[in-house]
Amino acid sequence: MIPTGASIDASTERAELPSRTWRIDFEKGRAGGMTDGLEAVRQAVYKILQTERFQHLIYSSDYGCEWRSLIGRSPSAIPMEAERMLKEALGQDERIEGIEGIETVVRGDQAVITFTVVTRHGSFSSTWEVMT
């Protein structure tokens, strides 16, 4: 007699991880209280874009943005490169479903990047200024 084993259900459901985190007051440099949902994603976007990539051992090499590499670039190349950097940096957060409406305006030694972040919690617009 050949033994028969139990059947294994190979289907798995991916559980949605909570986005609850500490609320950070960046102006005062203090953390206090908790935040969740869209506000937590907004805070994460700020942190990601504010962090220089490859400069802090506490973060993985995928975390942060390389805005400094825009310094000295040709003004005509900056919009395309800024869009790539933005999508690459924010694409690491699985709560972010997409980045839309990216517009980059180069003014002298600054680039102003306007974009909309789309998440499963909703969407929000943001403007970011970087030195070129």
Q: Which CATH architecture has domain 21-131?
A: Roll (3.10)
* C-alpha to C-alpha distance for 123 and 132, rounded to whole angstroms: 28
H runs (alpha helix) in 1-132: 37-50, 78-90
**14 vs 78: which has the higher pLDDT:** 78
Q: Which residue has the higher pLDDT, 75 or 18?
A: 75
The set of residues, in sequence order, having a beta carbon less than 8 Å from that of 41 and lying 6+ positions away, is 19, 93, 95, 96, 117, 119, 121, 124
Q: How far apart are CA 51 and CA 45, in angstroms?
A: 10
Which pLDDT belongs to residue 64? 96
Measured from the Cβ of residue 103, the count of other Cβ atoms closer than 10 Å reads: 12
**63-74: pLDDT as tens digits:** 999 999 999 999
Smallest Cα–Cα separation from 126: which of 34, 54, 41, 27? 41
C-alpha span between 55 and 67 (Å, rounded):
12
Domain map (residue ranges) of the chain = 21-131
Q: What is the pLDDT of residue 14?
A: 67
pLDDT score recorded for residue 100: 98
Distance between CA atoms of 36 and 3, rounded to whole angstroms?
51
* pLDDT tier, 127 (very low <50, low <70, confident <90, very high otherwise): very high
CA angle 121, 81, 84 (to 5 degrees): 30
Q: What is the mean pLDDT of the chain?
A: 92
Q: Tell me what pLDDT residue 113 has.
A: 98
pLDDT at 19: 83
pLDDT of 55 above 70: yes
Structure confidence at residue 58 (pLDDT): 93
Q: How many CB atoms lie within 10 A of CB 132?
A: 20
